[in-house]
C-alpha cells in the first residue's frame, strides 16, 4: 500500500504547479504534507504474473492519512471478502472462508502480500519518505525525449528502511512519476516500478497503471491498474476498525 500511496502522493503533488523549481526535499515534504490528513477511496485491479501462475485480483481500497488503509478483495470468487487492514504499524487480515481475523507477525513483514510482488512491509511502512531519506535532485533535463527531474533518496543513518537507495524520476512539467528504482542494501537494483497511462481521477492527473518488476525474476510482474479514485471525501469513522474489517 505504501507504494500505492506513494504513487498517489507523488501524483497528487503534480496538481500544484507552484512546486516547480523547488528542492527535492521540498517536493517530498510537500508530497507527504499533501497526503497527510487526506482521504481516498477507489477501485483497482492487480495482475500478478509469476513463473507458475497468473491471476488478477480486483479490489476496493480506502486510505486516510499515513496510518490507515483498508483493502477489500472483490474477485476472484475464492478470495472475495478477504480484507487487509493497516492501522499504525499493525497489519490484520480478514479471511472470510474461516471468518477470522489474524494479525500478521513481524517476521512475515517481508513476505509477499497476497502473492504479489508487494511485501507486507510495503503496506505498513510510513509513507513519509523525507523522514527516512535524504533527497537530492540527481538529474534534471531530457532523457529519452522527455524532460525529467530525477530524485535520489538515500536512507538516513538511523532510519529503519529496507532499501539502500531509491531513485525516482518524475516529469519535469507536471511532476507525475515515471519510474522508481529500488536498490537493496548492497545498492543492487531490487525492483523497478514503472508509472504509465496518465488519467484524470478526481480532478487530478495520475498514472493509472503501476507495474513492479523484481530484479531477480525479470519475467515476473505485478501490475496495478486504477479503475477509479476519489479524493478528500468523508469516510465513516469506524472504517478502519477491526470490527468493520470482519463485516
Partner 1 sequence: MMLLKYAWRNMWRNRRRTMITLAAVALNTAVLILFYALSIGMIEKTLRNVTGLVGGEAQAHARDYLEDQSLYKSLEKPEKIIAAANRIGVSAVPRTFGFGLAAKETKSAGAVFWGVRPEEERAFSWVNHLLKGTFLKEKPGKEVVLGKKLARQLRAEVGSEIIIVVQAADGSMGNEIYVVQGILKAIGASIDRGAVIMHEQDFRELFVLEDRIHEIAFHSKGRIDPEDLITELSSDLGQAEVKSWKELMPVLADMLRLSDILLLIFGGIFFVAAGLGVMNTMLMATYERMHEFGIQKAIGASPLRIVTDVLAEAFTLSAAGTALGALLGYGVSYYLQFHGIDLSRFSEDLTIAGIAFDPVWYTAIVPKVIVMPMLIMCWVCVLASLYPAMVAALVKPVEAIHHH
Residues contributing to the site for partner 1 (CB under 8 A): 48, 50, 52-55, 76, 78-79, 82, 93, 95, 97-98, 100, 102-105, 107-108, 111-112, 114-115
Q: Would you state the cell numbers that stand for residue 69, as one nine-digit string?
A: 488503509
Q: How far is the CB of 79 from partner 1 (least distance, A)?
A: 6
Q: How far is the CB of 133 from partner 1 (least distance, A)?
A: 29
Could you write out the DSSP letters of every residue in 170-205?
EETTT--EEEEEEE-TTS-EEEEEEEEEEEEETTEE
Q: How far is the CB of 90 from partner 1 (least distance, A)?
A: 10
Q: How far is the CB of 110 from partner 1 (least distance, A)?
A: 10
Question: At 6, is the secondary structure helix, strand, or coil?
Answer: helix
Q: How far is the CB of 94 from partner 1 (least distance, A)?
A: 10
> Looking at beta carbons only, is 85 or 148 nearer to partner 1?
85
- Rounded to the nearest angstrom, the gap between the alpha carbon of residue 28 and the centroid of all alpha carbons in its chain is 14
- Long-range pairs of 119-125 with CB within 8 A, sequence gap ≥ 24: 120/91, 121/2, 121/162, 122/1, 122/2, 122/3, 123/1, 123/2, 123/69, 123/84, 123/86, 123/91, 124/2, 124/86, 124/89, 124/90, 124/91, 125/2, 125/161
> Looking at beta carbons only, is 28 or 91 nearer to partner 1?
91
> Looking at beta carbons only, is 69 or 120 nearer to partner 1?
120
> Looking at beta carbons only, is 112 or 192 nearer to partner 1?
112
> Looking at beta carbons only, is 111 or 233 nearer to partner 1?
111
Contacts of 197 (CB under 8 A, 6+ apart): 207, 208, 209, 225
Amino acid at each position: 500500500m505504501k507504494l500505492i500511496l506513494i504513487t498517489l502522493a507523488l501524483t497528487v503533488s503534480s496538481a500544484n504547479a507552484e512546486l516547480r523549481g523547488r528542492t527535492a526535499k521540498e517536493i517530498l515534504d510537500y508530497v507527504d504534507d499533501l497526503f497527510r490528513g487526506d482521504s481516498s477511496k477507489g477501485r483497482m485491479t492487480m495482475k500478478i504474473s509469476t513463473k507458475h501462475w497468473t491471476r488478477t485480483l480486483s479490489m476496493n481500497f480506502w486510505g486516510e492519512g499515513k496510518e490507515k488503509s483498508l483493502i477489500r478483495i472483490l474477485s476472484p470468487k475464492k478470495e472475495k471478502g478477504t480484507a487487509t487492514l493497516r492501522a499504525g504499524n499493525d497489519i490484520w487480515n480478514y479471511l472470510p472462508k474461516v471468518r477470522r481475523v489474524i494479525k500478521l507477525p513481524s517476521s512475515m513483514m517481508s513476505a509477499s502480500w497476497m502473492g504479489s510482488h508487494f511485501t507486507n512491509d510495503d503496506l505498513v511502512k510510513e509513507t513519509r519518505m523525507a523522514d527516512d531519506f535524504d533527497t537530492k535532485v540527481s538529474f534534471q533535463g531530457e532523457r529519452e525525449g522527455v524532460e525529467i527531474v530525477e530524485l535520489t533518496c538515500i536512507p538516513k543513518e538511523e532510519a529503519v528502511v529496507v532499501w539502500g537507495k531509491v531513485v525516482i524520476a518524475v516529469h519535469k512539467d507536471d511532476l507525475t512519476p515515471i519510474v522508481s528504482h529500488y536498490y537493496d542494501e548492497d545498492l543492487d537494483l531490487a525492483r523497478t516500478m514503472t508509472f504509465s497511462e496518465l488519467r484524470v481521477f478526481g480532478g487530478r492527473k495520475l498514472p493509472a497503471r503501476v507495474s513492479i518488476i523484481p530484479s531477480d525474476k525479470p519475467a515476473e510482474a505485478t501490475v496495478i491498474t486504477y479503475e477509479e479514485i476519489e479524493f478528500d471525501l468523508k469516510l465513516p469513522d469506524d472504517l478502519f476498525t477491526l470490527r468493520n474489517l470482519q463485516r
